[in-house]
Chain A
Amino acid sequence: MDEEYDVIILGTGLTECMLSGILAVEGKKVLHMDRNDFYGGESASVNLAQLYERFRNGAKPPAQFGRERDYYIDLIPKFLMTGEGLVKVLVYTNVMRYLTFGSIATSMVYNGGKIYKVPSTPTEALMSSLVGILQKNKARSFFSYLQEWRENDAATHQGLDLNRNTMSEVYAHFGLNEDTQEFIGHAMALHLDDKYKTQPARATCDRIIMYANSAARAMEDKRNSPYIYPHYGLGDLPQAFARLSAVYAGTFMLDTPVDEIISDQGVFVGVRSGEQTARAKQVIGDPSYFPDRVRKTGRVIRALCILRQPIPKADAQSAQIILPQRQTGREHDIYVTCLSKAQEVCPDGVYLASISTIAETNNAPESEIGAALKLVGDIVEKFVWVSDVFEPTGDGTKDNVFISRSYDATSHFETVYDDVKDMYRRITGNELVLKNRNEN
């Protein structure tokens, strides 16, 4: 590693590996290091032994759960939608070929103590009992408005400026009530809380359109939900992008301690590991490599429950269930996901339910996710932990240190992709343009 590189990357989380692959394809000389002896950092999928090591002080997993290595447990549970940015990157970089995706069997939302299937299209939405009789026409007007809306055609705007009007104003324009707003904002636009209502409507409308496109695609493919998921867990995503980087001559060093980030007059010049020093113009890394250059912005509660049966009432091999904040008297939604052998993440007869939400109190974390724990039914084993969420204090333009944001509590990868695009812009000075990898 005693060499000069264009960029050194620390940590093999998804954000870092995506940037690694993209930059290597563009011809940058990349050195990619991780202090762990496995890929993925926080976005790894761990096996059962690693899970017990992390949360049970290294106790042996009970024999009843089967082979430890048949488990791929996401530390950050998320799903993908076919319309989202990450999927576009997977397709355009050809990384999709390294992965095998399956669909998630059902998508549900919690309402009045029960769970209902989330309608997968605007048309279905109008038939769902989640949208009241008197709201149906109003909701229809809203969905057709989005369908016809064109940025450059004022005639399609109905006097609204989506870039300036807030989402509340848009809801009011169409006369949508609290229940319909909850369904649209939380089950379709996947907002974690209600802050979006006071912000310009554009971002929310874009997300509704993305959801609707993914759902329409799912209908065509005879899938029951717009969500997809890679076999063997999300931990394959960073590994796949790492391979892309390696194929384009990126150098990978796992199990390599990072002892010093070296700067000269406040500008990054290299990384020291033991006696060796690698030099580069820029460094990219996750917050754990830069404790002095990040600030804590919040905490995420996550729980993993090992079940012997599917989630009652959802009764599927895989599911996503959203508990909107209003339904549980909280400020943030709780997400529940359930996976099984169908996704190759555990042995037959085992179901893995993950729960995540943003921590709102300093009380015992379990008390904040009570409604979700009740929902998943009989739990054989349960792991609950709280992760701090960090963001960088600087944007890297002065010191050439580019730090990613921690993975948040959202159920999708849009915020990860936003971070990748934003970092790419700061690192290269250019917008990230996705191009087909057609060179030979």
Chain B
Amino acid sequence: MSQQNSSGNRDGSAGAANTGPPHSAPAKPIQIKVVLLGDAAVGKSSLVLRFVNDEFQENKEPTIGAAFLTQKVRLDDTVLKLDLWDTAGQERFHSLAPMYYRNAQAAVVVYDITRAQSLDRAKSWIKELQRQAKPNIVIALVGNKLDLVADQENEEAEDADADADADADADADTDAEHTTATEGKERQVQTSTARAYAEESGLLFLETSAKTGEGVVETFTEIAKKLDLNQIASNNQAARPGQLNSGSANVNFLSEGSQSEQRNTDGCAC
């Protein structure tokens, strides 16, 4: 656990995760690879879009051409640059490449609270991460689509059906096969059940709504607080993707072409 974490005093409170570069600290941001995992259409892309662009698209089409998005998070004097990697739909037929998550420092494993099956899938991803990923990876288990059950849990369902269709596919990572899954808005995964599993497995646990934004920023700040930044910073210096790492000399291959890293520091990185 890093110093920043133990102090528990991150800059600002609510909006800390969305701040830009710090005023004082000139230190280079620490780059963190965060992967999104989970069954198709649980809302992985929507969580990222809410976090990075603070937006939500109903009936979102799969994103084409975006390899990952980045967002800076400030933690005390340290700026973290989170590279948020999306699955690019490869999970749809259980064909996600291990390369995708192997060297991640953090993973957000998402399930849909209205679909019990998606928690089973999340559990199998967590098992896979525990076998294949870095031993100190920070994993957050996230139950998404709180908004779908909010009506039911708070009020008596007024006109449930009207919203249902619009919401059902809102988070779709893929287009097919999920129309049935989220049609019923009943909560199928109780908070206590998922939390108990997360605690037992040493995971962060949050419930979110990519639609309303509830819990989204918190998810990423909780992750940031749990990362061992000292270790990551020293590892990052040793070896970085996209570069040729040879002892002292780090050669940036990308400088060979005319494209630069710059266009990828913010927003769409493809």
Contact = CB atoms under 8 A, between A and B. Distances in A.
Say if A and B assemble together: yes
Interface stretch (B72-80, B86-94, B148-156): B86-94
B67 A243 contact: yes
Interface string B72-110: 000000000000000111101111011110110000000
10 contacts: A94-B259, A100-B240, A100-B242, A103-B247, A222-B249, A232-B99, A247-B64, A249-B64, A255-B94, A438-B259
Contacts of A436: 257-259
B246 A97 contact: no
Interface string A94-136: 1011111111000000000000000000000000000000000
Nearest to B251: A221
Interface of A: 39, 69, 82, 87, 90-92, 94, 96-103, 221-223, 228, 231-232, 236, 239-240, 242-243, 246-249, 251-256, 436-440
Contacts of A82: 244, 253
Interface string B204-221: 000000000000000000
B62 interface: yes
A251 B92 contact: yes
Interface of B: 62, 64-67, 87-90, 92-95, 97-100, 102-103, 131-132, 239-249, 251, 253-254, 256-259, 263-264, 268, 270
Contacts of B88: 243, 246-247
Contacts of B253: 82, 87, 90-91, 96, 101
Contacts of B245: 100-103
A277 to B, nearest CB: 16
Given A91-B254, A221-B249, A440-B65, 15 more contacts: A39-B98, A94-B67, A97-B264, A98-B241, A99-B241, A221-B246, A243-B97, A246-B90, A249-B62, A249-B89, A251-B92, A252-B93, A255-B95, A436-B257, A439-B65
A437 B259 contact: yes
A388 to B, nearest CB: 27
B64 A248 contact: yes
Given A82-B244, A91-B254, A243-B90, A232 B102 contact: yes
A99 B239 contact: no
A101 B244 contact: yes
Contacts of B256: 91
A174 B200 CA distance: 74
Given A221-B251, A246-B88, A436-B259, A102 B97 contact: no
Contacts of A251: 89, 92-93
B234 to A, nearest CB: 15
- Report which residue of A96, A97, A228, A437 has the largest number of chain B beta carbons within 10 angstroms of its beta carbon: A97
B246 A252 contact: no
Given A228-B244, A246-B90, A248-B65, A96 B254 contact: yes
B93 A99 contact: no
The DSSP consensus for interface residues of chain B is loop
Nearest to A249: B64
Contacts of A248: 64-65
A52 B119 CA distance: 34
A30 B152 CA distance: 42
A249 B67 CA distance: 11
B257 A91 contact: yes
Contacts of A96: 241-242, 253-254
Given A232-B99, A236-B99, A249-B62, A440 B247 contact: no
Given A87-B253, A91-B254, A91-B256, A231 B64 contact: no
Contacts of A94: 67, 254, 259, 270
A223 B249 CA distance: 8
A33 to B, nearest CB: 9
A39 B95 CA distance: 8
Shortest beta-carbon contacts, A-B, top 10: A246-B88, A239-B97, A103-B246, A239-B99, A252-B95, A97-B242, A254-B95, A253-B93, A247-B88, A221-B249
Contacts of A102: 239, 244-246
A348 B103 CA distance: 18
Contacts of A223: 244, 246-247, 249
A240 B37 CA distance: 17
A253 B270 contact: no
A135 to B, nearest CB: 31
A103 B99 contact: no
Given A96-B253, A436-B259, A239 B244 contact: no
A246 B63 CA distance: 10
Nearest to A90: B253
A103 B248 CA distance: 11
B270 A69 contact: no
Contacts of A254: 93-95
B153 to A, nearest CB: 37
A222 B65 contact: no
A13 to B, nearest CB: 14
A162 B57 CA distance: 60
Contacts of B258: 436
A67 to B, nearest CB: 10
Contact of B66 (A91, A222, A247, A256): A247
Contacts of B270: 94, 247, 437, 439-440
Nearest to B264: A97
A26 B32 CA distance: 30
Contacts of B246: 102-103, 221-223
A248 B131 CA distance: 29
B254 A97 contact: yes
- Report which residue of B243, B251, B254 has the largest number of chain A beta carbons within 10 angstroms of its beta carbon: B251
B248 A240 contact: no
Contacts of A231: 239
Nearest to A25: B65
- Report which residue of A103, A240, A252 has the largest number of chain B beta carbons within 10 angstroms of its beta carbon: A252
Contacts of B102: 232
A231 B239 CA distance: 9
B121 to A, nearest CB: 16
B247 A222 contact: yes
A96 B189 CA distance: 40
- Report which residue of A101, A102, A251, A438 has the largest number of chain B beta carbons within 10 angstroms of its beta carbon: A101
A91 B255 CA distance: 9
Nearest to B242: A97
